[in-house]
Amino acid sequence: MNETRRLHPVFILFTTVQWIKAMLPLIILILFKDIDWSNPHWAVYTVAPVLLIVLIVFGVLQWKKFVYVLEDDKIAIRKGVLFREEKSIYFGRIHSVNTEQPLLQRLLGVVQLKIETPGGKADSDGVLPAVAVADAERLQLWLREAKAAADRHPDHVSAEKPELGDASADAADSSLREPSDTDSAAAPIVRLSAGQLAKAAFTSMNIGLVFVFIAGVMSFADDLLPQRFSDRIFEEATALMPSGWAIVIAVLIGLLLAWLLSVVLYVVKYAGFTVTRQGEQIAVTYGLLEKKKHLFSPERVQAVMVKEGWLRQALGYGQMELRVVASAKEDKLMFHPLFRMSELPRIIEAFLPQFAATPIEARPPKRAFLYYIRIELLLAALLSAGLIAYFRIPGMWSLLLLPLVTAWATRRFLDSGMTLTDKQLTIQNRLITKTTCYVRRPQIMSLQVKGSVTQRKKRVMTLKVNLMGHTGDNTWSVEHIDKQDIDRVWSWYSRRV
């Protein structure tokens, strides 16, 4: 008979904490109001305790109703107090079982287990929000073994169920066995030391993290602060910048602060970064406040992407990301935040032997350079003219945009190219960061070749490659390549296997 199991009892607190988190802006707003807290109304003493009791009771009911059952060929998840919901995930459809430890789970000493299937929802098909760490490791191992058994024998799946203790029992009385040497992870493949993490953070220039953080802070502040307060800050800031020089200085200071903030956010996100082997799979673990663990099979990697920023390229470093077949919203995975580019062939050969770090062979011809610079240089000239007309003498500094744009366009021209082998296509381009993508033919979902009338006259074309995935970052292109090289790729992709 299949045994019904429940989550860890700390799941009872989730409802209360989530409600307080949702109501936090309103609570802070009430605290800022002119209320005489020395003589509070009787409702404060009655409503708050009653509401707390209701939330705890509802949390207990949610915990009692949230169960999961390990059956012979599937895992069934049942939950819901007012409306019951049941999900059955067959082992043959499971392709990854990952663990995450958001801040709440980390404070309470539990983990969140995510079960994903191909083509599933963006937030995973099955989620167990509160599982003991030891139980999660054993359940993760057992699901991997059941998945392997299902792949070997689709008509008959049988595996010995893991010895999971009763989560409601006291931890000291738990009979959970410790993972054996075969279950536990081997020595780390990649481990980022504090010095390497700092070097990666200072050379990342990940302004995207800053924009997300600032947007969240502004959204939160907009809910709390009155409109007149925001208007006053804007007016005073404008009054402090009467000249063009002040604006330039303010922009430079803003960029410096954004860079420092990106360093802090990078450290918080990738602290404790390790890559280990677990059987035939690879586990990637990282995170300071929110700890995440991703488990994947090397054969499920669709593409390898190597990125080199301006500073990292000058120092000879890069970072490696993988595109893994996943149902999660983010199907790109950081595999190595910082490594020497001279070690790239060894890393790929050791851990992803189906790929090869091939050098770029086909570069854009010299006649294509005009396409890299004409529009960019025209826009820079128009912007410079506008700044000079508005700021007069200080605006003359904008003329520096012209050589900067020329250098940027030249760098884009030199860092574009492709290489075609029998089983792999390598594409390289640059917008700000130099990006090299290694993709095998079976993983290419579609191939697109396009060119304007003038491009066709110059016999240069643009190649675009699309992979399967949920993110727009699964499309790569290389511009203004010789038509003869593009034709070779088209014939290679169009041939019958």
Q: Chain-wide mean pLDDT for the chain?
A: 80
Q: Assign 496 a pLDDT band (cuts: 50, 70, 90).
A: low
Q: How far apart are CA 271 and CA 239, in angstroms?
A: 41
Q: Any idea which fold 4-168 has? A: PH-domain like (2.30.29)
Cβ atoms 72, 146 nearer than 8 A: no
Helices (H) and strands (E) in the chain, counts: 14, 20
**Would you list the domain boundaries of the chain?**
4-168, 191-270, 297-364+416-494, 366-411
* 320 vs 339: CA distance, rounded Å: 8
Instruction: Write out pLDDT tens, residues 284-342.
Output: 999 988 888 888 888 889 899 999 998 899 999 999 999 987 644 556 889 999 999 99
CB 24 within 8 A of CB 224: no
CA–CA distance from 109 to each of 13, 19, 290, 320, 360 (Å)?
A: 13, 20, 12, 31, 48
Q: How sure is the predictor about 184, in pLDDT bands with cuts at 50, 70 and 90?
A: very low
3-state secondary structure of 4: strand
**Distance between CA atoms of 85 and 66, rounded to whole angstroms?**
9
**176 closest CA partner among 5, 414, 399:** 5
Confirm if 424 and 438 have CB atoms less than 8 A apart. Answer: yes
Q: Identity (one letter) of the amino acid at 194?
A: A
Nearest to 62 by CA among 76, 77, 48, 82: 82
Question: Hey, which of 68-72, 207-211, 242-246, 314-318 has the most confident mean pLDDT?
Answer: 314-318
* Calpha distance 104→181 (Å, rounded): 30
Buried-exposed string 448-463: b where 16+ CB fall within 10 A, e elsewhere = eeebeeebeebebbbb
Which range has the top average pLDDT, 104-113, 149-158, 200-209? Answer: 104-113
Confidence tier at 133 by pLDDT (50, 70, 90): confident
Strand 417-420's sheet: what is its strand order?
332-340, 317-324, 301-308, 434-440, 424-430, 417-420
The tens digit of pLDDT for each residue in 352-382 reads 999 999 999 999 999 999 999 999 999 999 9
Q: For position 171, what pLDDT does the model report?
A: 34
pLDDT of residue 462: 94
Which DSSP state fits 191? E
More confident residue, 49 or 441: 441
pLDDT per residue as tens digits for the range 203-217 = 886 666 556 666 656
Residue 51: C-alpha distances to residues 45, 55, 162 (Å):
11, 6, 39
DSSP labels, 27-86: HHHHHHS---TTS--HHHHHHHHHHHHHHHHHHHHHHHH-EEEE-SSEEEEEE-SSS-EE
Residue 349: helix, strand or coil by DSSP? Answer: helix
Q: What is the pLDDT of residues 153-173, one digit of tens each?
A: 665 555 555 555 544 443 333
pTM for this model (two decimals): 0.74
pLDDT digits (tens, 9 = 90+) for 400-454: 999 999 999 999 999 999 999 988 999 999 998 999 999 999 889 889 999 888 8
